Structure 1
Amino acid sequence: MLENPMVTPPVTGDRDSRSLKGSIGVAGIVFLVIAAAAPLTAVAGSLPVMIAIGNGAGAPMAYIVAALVLLVFSVGYAAMSSSVTDTGAFYAYVTKGLGRPTGLGAAGLALLAYTTIQAAIYGLAASTLKDVVIRFGGPDLPWWLWAFVLMAIVAVLGYRSIDLGAKVLGVLLIAEIALIVALSVGVLAKGGAHGIDFVSFTPSAFFSGSPGIALMFAIGSFVGFEATAIYGEEAKNPKRTVPIATYVAVITIGVLYAVASWAVVIAFGSDNVQAAAQENTADLTFIAASQFLGGVTADIMMVMLVTSLFAALLAFHNAIARYTFALSRNGFAPRRLMNVHTRHGSPHEGSALQTATAFVLVGAFAIAGADPVLQLFTWMAGVAIVAILVLMVLTSVAIIAYFRRSKVDNRLWHTRIAPVLGTLGLVGITALVVANFTTLIGGSQVLSVIFLIAIAATFIGGWVAGRVLLSRRENADPSARPIP
């Protein structure tokens, strides 16, 4: 027995007053997704760690494996986007396939994932900005001050139309991607350290060392993938835009990461790159840029790393604001959060709430004297990766369940085979991440258990709240009872 996902409490006002407005197209949505993935952050931040403690020269293959799993998952995801156009995205899909209580549990996971990853990025962005300012002769100010400056800028852009945010991200991403491509071309054109080889794409290289850790970081580099559906309500033609944007985003991110990471491997040599990464983890990509493009380019890359992180902050801010908007519109969050700005067509109340939440979370770490990278970034990013993976598994199962009940799409590959394969792939990656979770958050076994319990409690709490609220509605309105 599944409850009717269309049953919601009465809401006053016209539908237009409760709908987000925008004219964002495929390119705009792809920019938002890639912005959340923060390519330069992955290449300059995550990649050296993948190489150092993961599978060394086999790191590029981890990106390909992650992209392939997400592409298969995307088949059913894109097919379902024709039936569901809701800014709640994963939450809406899980609700449609598995019922309202499970959907609310999924919404809880989404809010946890995006809130924690945004807080993590504030820590890394503030620390990086502080170093950049000092490097160029500026004052040595506390990291948290820079975090709040970034927060204020994000708040202004998040409050306004998504079209403006997409334009800002577009400019930043074009420059960011151009720099990554320039590094890749520079290394490959000069033949790297010892000539070009394809060792990185062999099974022996991929399975060397700890491929589970490499996959863990690779899949984490795709966090924000859900944005293709989150912005469906603000798209010109969601039934066409969302599927195309989904495939384009996954393929673009996968190819960009695989080629860029291969170039970094070639820059030091397949046999030497792991040792180089272990010796200079934080500066590995910058060293490659300096050697093959010049010292000025390395400095530009450091500055662009800040803009890359800023783009990710804005993308996640927008995603969280739209989740709270969707929950409010469906009657599961304070009603004022579904207000749409009369001029900008944005969920401005949800945006303001998200700014306040980020301020409190980042402020708590600042007051505690925590390290912005080793604690704020590492801990919160670890929680986010696990939460988003569990959310994606739930979404994949929901897609299977929905198409088994519904006759709206009878394509076997799109509605049966691909969703099952995608689910198996995501479950496998989730198991690897959980097995290596202690490493992901910095080595504390006790802390890893606490965080995993918090993730589980968030989902269970959302599910229980959904059951309670649904029961109250049924008692108040018998017509809202579950249907078979």
Structure 2
Amino acid sequence: MARKDPEPDIITKALAKNRLGVPSVVFFGVAGAAPLTVIIGSISAIYAIIGSTAVPIVYLVVAGILSLFTVGFVAMSRHIVNSGAFYSYISHGLGRVIGVGAAFVALPAYSLMQIGLFGLFGSAASGILGAMGFTVSWYACALVAWALVAILGLLWVDLSGRVLAVLLVAEISIVLIYDLVMVANPAGGEVTFSPFSPAPLITPVVGSLLVLAIAGFVGFEATVVLSEEAKDPKRTIARATHWAVGLAGLMCAVSAWAMAVNTGPQNIAAVAAEHKTDLVFTLVSPHLPGFLVDIGYVLFMTSVFAALLAFHAAVARYQFALGREGVLPAAWGRTHPRTGAPLLGSITQSVLAVAVLSAYAAAGAEPLVFVFAWLTTIGGLGVLILMWSASAAVIAFFVRNRRGENAWRAIIAPLLAFLMLSVVLAATLIGFGELLQVSGDSPFQWLIPVLYLAVAGLGFVWALIMRAARPEVYAAIGRGADGRVSILSDMSATPKQLHADPIGARGSYH
């Protein structure tokens, strides 16, 4: 068989190169974490539900855990540049079979996270319009956001980066204003730092606090999904990921502390239970002009939109990576000829999102509970499973070959992250029914983890089928564009040779 030139195939299966610098990638990571959404929605809910004053210190602890995870994660990113992110890293560290299983977990997890956020956006937008005298359903509002995300998802990735930049700069500015106002008006006239005391961390509620807090960071890892589109990815992704974790963690911790300062630590739980997602606006409205409070409501809505855009980009690029490497049909591995955006991956997520939203709307389901809370909680569990697996993959990757990385980045930090994430994952699985707020005898307490195990199992089986039937495709799993070139350039080899040495000098056959 004559050697086949791989170049045309790679040209039609490559993302746009050198589009994003450090700031743009940071914006994608922070947008995925959606700090304003967390501050207004999640933090007030944690105060109300758990009733603990330790929320600020817990966010710092979680930021510390994820910073440890990020050390090894970004060290690995210097050696692997692939839009498949977790899937690719797990394939390199734990083997291709487990990597494909991880991919089968990643697709529904990120997809559900994104679709769930449409419920929050629709509900928030409907409420804002209602206050202006317009009656618009949450579904109609969600469809407007869906259309914008669907269009931006097919355009140049740096355009989405600019949109996120504008939204996040405004979002961070209003958070800083609100925090300053709350701290400048402390309960009893005295600023207290007691919410940063580590003492509550040894109480029984710490597991629930860690689980709920870590959910607020899900999305920061979207930085690595953009590695193929970044300028100087080996440096850009590392810096951007550290910035995304640090910025999101600091904003959430400071804002949680500012709320407790304004109400008094002893009162924060009761006040949060009374006002729920209006807590922050209730606390700042006596001290600010009305238009700044109104701007906060609007930016809360745009914060959700920014997260929608970031998660859409992540889902589309996961599908692209899997299509390019033959795990999904090849059509998913093609990009838009002009913009370089993942074509079918973006369209697939948009179609799936509108179908799910339409089904919920037809059923008359409450968007905040059954669309937002349920879907993002279920998706967040999947992402947590991926982070836990990736931390193990980092250790395995560097144990075989340090690749010039020091012991802290290659072994110590990843091992600490793995142990801590194991605790958080165990607490999540034990209390998953409580997170969904279902009764003790509800099958959803155990059904969702079992379903994730089932889809991972399907991935394992599919990988084994590929290994037996298409060894040349199996060999390229997790290897990105470079792996695809190597496999295509070896097309002159016989099937017998491909079975005998499917990846040549690049490593063992997992």
C-alpha contact (below 8 Å) 1:409/1:415 kept by paired residues: no
Q: Which runs of 5+ in 2 are unaligned?
A: 473-494
Amino acid at match of 2:120: L
SS in 2 for 1:47: helix
C-alpha contact (below 8 Å) 1:328/1:334 kept by paired residues: yes
Work out which of the residue numbers 239, 243, 267 in structure 2 matches 1:272. Answer: 267
Aligned pair in 2 of structure 1 residues 95, 60: CA closer, same or farther (>3 Å)?
same
CA-CA distance at 1:415 after TM superposition: 0.7
Aligned pair in 2 of structure 1 residues 128, 193: CA closer, same or farther (>3 Å)?
farther
Which residue in 1 is equivalent to 2:80? Answer: 84
CA-CA distance at 1:208 after TM superposition: 5.0
Q: Which has the greater radius of gyration?
A: 2
Q: Distance in 2 between matches of 1:294 and 1:104?
A: 53
Work out which of the residue numbers 451, 455, 461 in structure 1 matches 2:452. Answer: 455
Amino acid at match of 2:509: I
C-alpha contact (below 8 Å) 1:379/1:442 kept by paired residues: no
SS in 2 for 1:425: helix
Q: Distance in 1 between matches of 2:189 and 2:11?
A: 61
Amino acid at match of 2:88: A
CA-CA distance at 1:268 after TM superposition: 0.8
Work out which of the residue numbers 102, 109, 115 in structure 2 matches 1:113. Answer: 109
- Equivalence map 1:291-306=2 (5 Å): 291-306=286-301
- Equivalence map 1:180-199=2 (5 Å): 180-192=175-187, 194-199=189-194
C-alpha contact (below 8 Å) 2:402/2:410 kept by paired residues: no
Q: Distance in 1 between matches of 2:156 and 2:185?
A: 44
Which residue in 1 is equivalent to 2:481? Answer: none
C-alpha contact (below 8 Å) 1:21/1:234 kept by paired residues: yes
CA-CA distance at 1:441 after TM superposition: 1.0
2:163 is the counterpart of 1:168: yes
Which residue in 2 is equivalent to 1:350? Answer: 345
Which residue in 1 is equivalent to 2:471? Answer: 474
- Equivalence map 1:83-482=2 (5 Å): 83-138=79-134, 140-192=135-187, 194-207=189-202, 210-444=205-439, 445-474=442-471, 477-478=498-499, 479-480=501-502
CA-CA distance at 1:410 after TM superposition: 4.5
Which residue in 2 is equivalent to 1:5? Answer: none
Q: Distance in 2 between matches of 1:38 and 1:330?
A: 31
Deviations along 1:40-85, whole A, 9 cap, x unmatched? 1101100011111225221111110110001111111111111100
Moved more, 458-467 or 199-208: 199-208
Q: Distance in 2 between matches of 1:82 and 1:54?
A: 40
Moved more, 462-471 or 288-297: 288-297
SS in 2 for 1:134: helix
Amino acid at match of 2:449: L
TM-score scaled to structure 1, two decimals?
Answer: 0.94
Q: Distance in 1 between matches of 2:361 and 2:7?
A: 42
CA-CA distance at 1:136 after TM superposition: 1.0
CA-CA distance at 1:411 after TM superposition: 1.2
Which residue in 2 is equivalent to 1:483? Answer: 509
Q: Distance in 1 between matches of 2:270 and 2:204?
A: 13
Amino acid at match of 1:36: G
Moved more, 203-212 or 169-178: 203-212
The number of equivalent residue pairs is: 475
Q: Distance in 2 between matches of 1:428 and 1:194?
A: 39
Which residue in 2 is equivalent to 1:4? Answer: none
Aligned pair in 2 of structure 1 residues 483, 86: CA closer, same or farther (>3 Å)?
same
Deviations along 1:205-233, whole A, 9 cap, x unmatched? 44457222222221111111211211110
CA-CA distance at 1:16 after TM superposition: 3.4
Deviations along 1:112-157, whole A, 9 cap, x unmatched? 111111111001110111111111111x222212111110010111
C-alpha contact (below 8 Å) 1:95/1:103 kept by paired residues: yes
C-alpha contact (below 8 Å) 1:87/1:230 kept by paired residues: yes
CA-CA distance at 1:422 after TM superposition: 0.7
C-alpha contact (below 8 Å) 1:55/1:206 kept by paired residues: no
Q: Distance in 2 between matches of 1:264 and 1:162?
A: 36
CA-CA distance at 1:348 after TM superposition: 2.2
Amino acid at match of 2:100: L
C-alpha contact (below 8 Å) 2:119/2:367 kept by paired residues: yes
Aligned pair in 2 of structure 1 residues 407, 280: CA closer, same or farther (>3 Å)?
closer
CA-CA distance at 1:294 after TM superposition: 4.0
Amino acid at match of 1:211: V
Aligned pair in 2 of structure 1 residues 266, 294: CA closer, same or farther (>3 Å)?
farther
Amino acid at match of 1:437: F
Q: Which runs of 5+ in 1 are unaligned?
A: 1-8
Aligned-residue CA RMSD in angstroms? 1.9
Q: Distance in 1 between matches of 2:114 and 2:471?
A: 37
Deviations along 1:442-476, whole A, 9 cap, x unmatched? 22432222222212212122122111122212396
SS in 1 for 2:335: coil
Aligned pair in 2 of structure 1 residues 205, 296: CA closer, same or farther (>3 Å)?
farther
C-alpha contact (below 8 Å) 2:75/2:405 kept by paired residues: no
2:75 is the counterpart of 1:49: no
Give me the identity figure in percent.
36
TM-score scaled to structure 2, two decimals?
Answer: 0.89
